[in-house]
Amino acid sequence: MRVAAVPVPTCPLARPSLPRTDLTRHCSWPAHRRNWAPAPSGHPSAKQRRATHLCGAAAAPAGVDVSSLVDRDLQGTVVVTGGGPAGLATAAALHQAGIPVLVLEREAALSTGGSALGLWTNAWRALDALGVGDVLRQQHPNVQDIELVRHNGRQLRRFSLSECDGGPHEFRGVRRSNLLAALAAILPSDSLAFGAQVTAAEPTAAGAALTLASGQRLECLAVVGADGARSAVAAAAGRSPANYCGQSAIRGVARFPGGLPPQLQAGCIRQVWGPAARAGLYPVSDTELYWFVCFNAAADAPTSTSPAAWQQEALGVVQGWAWGLPEVVQATPLQDLSRSRLLDRWDRMPASSGSSSITLAGDSLHPMTPNLGQGGCTALEDALVLARCLQQQQLPSLAAELRGSSSSSGSSRGRAAAVAAAAVQSAIGQYERERMQRCLPLTIRSYVMGALLQAPLPPVALARDLFVQHAFSPAHFLDHATFDCGRLEPTRDG
């Protein structure tokens, strides 16, 4: 038995039987890249200088007006739906690969509040490949210890990431808004469109088409749905709806302007196990602490949309718990709270994979419970793997040829579109095979870990605690975080 990296809730174990898969397989990336250390510092690339400058200035991308998209030729453009971490990372990777890209975000601007993401070594490899890793490292501390404790104040185990195989390992809690700003800084301003809610997607002979809530129809080379676990694009990509796992989680970032209180200065990822509920804490900065509380909730249980109600709900779960949890919840601004029902999906790759120019990324492709802390990490992996697969099919040059044929005859443009569409479909098929091989085992393992760690029966909880105290070895604790998504082929301006 292995203990999950960042446990959140448990779910019922009634799931279809699936064949065993190698949980640490690195897809097609060379074996010599698997034992990774941070790249040596040197002269920053153009993309690193641009990201550093724009992020340091906290520049908010203006984007383009949605109504102007009707007159815009998108035949050689990949459209990404969703301006969250998965969508912006995908767009950034495509742009750096030399592929024209447009992001459609339903909100009026990128999120400036919200919670944080715990990013492990595999995520930092992706961020380094995009040129923004060091920008984010400057803003968030490196956490190198994990502490497993009981809600009553008893410590079960503390260990260092250096005790885990496959190192050196890196973990940082990153403000979601900082991550979005760093990724958006990579993109040209005309590659973001706000207030553009996608309601449907469909394949076409020349690529794909999207329908917006406004009624606009956009035809493009390909679509990448990165609009979350309830993606409007998922059905067009042949995926079934995500499943509710029986738990909900409330997350937040507590603020302590005068510095973290002494009882919260542990400098570690602290996982707190209570009766039929769990919580977790880790520092995001010298004055901020990320936390989560997770608990069982029936599928039909009423939920509030009020952050104030979420705060009271979280306080009710951790009432009387040690480790300063009630104080942390109370120190969280309402705008930095979120509440979600935990979803996942175990289905195999659909038979239609690679037969259209529509695919998915992040939670849209592989929703998983957060028990391994890999949802955001694998979304960043997706971005690099997809862009690399498209590069390998020569899409940058094919897209340029297609865009250059806008003034050509219909038959000439049609041939260029058909060649580009075939390349996209081949790349998508390869991408989805790689990501299914990587993410399906993670999804299953994450689910099982949650069930084992949050068993409501006291004898099971006692056995868990005894195992962690006396038999647990951290050697394989981070096997799933040693994945290397690789880097892109350099472009002329890279």
Please state the φ and ψ torsions of residue 389, each to the nearest 5 degrees.
-60, -40
Q: Are the C-beta atoms of 218 and 79 separated by less than 8 Å?
A: yes
Cross-sheet strand order for the sheet of 269-274: 155-160, 145-150, 269-274, 277-283, 288-296, 243-255, 337-344
DSSP state for residue 42 in the 8-state scheme: -
Say if pTM beats, i.e. exceeds, 0.85. yes
Q: Is 395 helix (H, G, I), strand (E, B) or coil?
A: helix
Query: What pairing do the DSSP bridges indicate for beta strands 78-81 and 101-105?
Result: parallel
Q: What domains sit in the chain, N to C, each tagged with a CATH number?
A: 31-140+170-245+346-481 (3.50.50.60)
Other residues' Cβ atoms within 10 Å of the Cβ of residue 243 = 17
Rounded to whole angstroms, the Cα distance separating 122 from 170 reads 9
Q: Is 17 helix (H, G, I), strand (E, B) or coil?
A: coil
Q: Tell me the DSSP string of 176-213.
A: HHHHHHHHHTTS-GGGEEES--EEEEEEETTEEEEEET
Where in 321-402 does DSSP place strands (E)? Answer: 337-344, 358-360
pLDDT means per 10 residues in the chain (494 residues)?
A: 38 37 35 36 49 49 83 93 98 98 95 88 99 98 97 96 98 97 96 96 94 95 97 92 93 96 91 92 97 92 94 97 97 96 87 84 97 98 99 93 74 86 96 96 93 82 92 97 95 63
C-alpha distances (whole Å) from 306 to each of 88, 107, 279, 450 are 28, 19, 21, 27
pLDDT digits (tens, 9 = 90+) for 249-295: 999 999 999 999 988 988 999 999 998 899 999 999 999 999 999 99
Q: For residues 345 and 463, what is the distance between their CA atoms, to the nearest angstrom? A: 29
What whole-number distance in Å separates Cα of residue 450 and Cα of residue 24?
Answer: 19
Predicted local confidence at residue 167, as pLDDT: 96
